[in-house]
Amino acid sequence: MRYVLGGDGLLEEGLVAQNATEYFKKVGTKGNWASRLQLGYASYNESEFAPFTVDNQFNLRGAGNDIDRGTSFVFVNTEYRHTLIEKDWFVLQGNAFVDAGSIRSPREGFDNLASINNVELYSGLGVRFIHKRIFNAVIRLDYGVGLGATQNRGLVFGIGQYF
């Protein structure tokens, strides 16, 4: 959480709060279920400078880069990770995921955040290449497809687990 102070009247003062809650569960001998709930709120809803963004690197895989900005958000990510190959130093995992979320547009009320027209839903598959001896040495490739009204799709490359 942070409190933003205005500078010489250029920015209004406000509160920006974010929280992420994660849950992990082992499934059988080779599976893992991972889920994350992210919430965010910015008190300055009238500003043109919305602090939160929809981006495939942070919250919705397949959405694209910075496709939308807003002043509040709710994102839910869930995925099943399955170990395909495990050697002494290397692991190859496959995963299937569903990401959903909504972001409140600037100058809109909270009903905008809860509107079914504002909810984005993505599903997809991916792989993880994990080096077991180097901390956080995970290379990931995910392909997400927008479901419903959202037609975006895309390949997401990243280093480190998504969450």
Residue from 87, 160, 89 nearest 128 by CA: 160
Each domain of the chain, given as residue ranges in start order, spans: 2-159
Q: What Rg do the C-alpha atoms of the chain give, in angstroms? A: 18
Q: Which two tokens stand for residue 73?
A: 């958000």
Residue from 86, 16, 2 nearest 50 by CA: 16
Q: What is the pLDDT of residues 24-77, one digit of tens each?
A: 999 999 999 999 999 999 988 887 778 899 988 889 998 888 678 899 999 999
**Start-to-end Cα distance in the chain:** 19
Contact residues for 7 (Cβ-Cβ < 8 A; gap 6+)? none
Residue of higher predicted confidence among 67 and 11: 67
Q: What is the pLDDT of residues 94-151, one digit of tens each?
A: 999 999 999 998 889 999 888 888 899 999 999 999 999 998 899 999 999 999 777 8
- In angstroms, the CA 159 to CA 135 distance is 11
Q: Which fold has domain 2-159?
A: Porin (2.40.160)
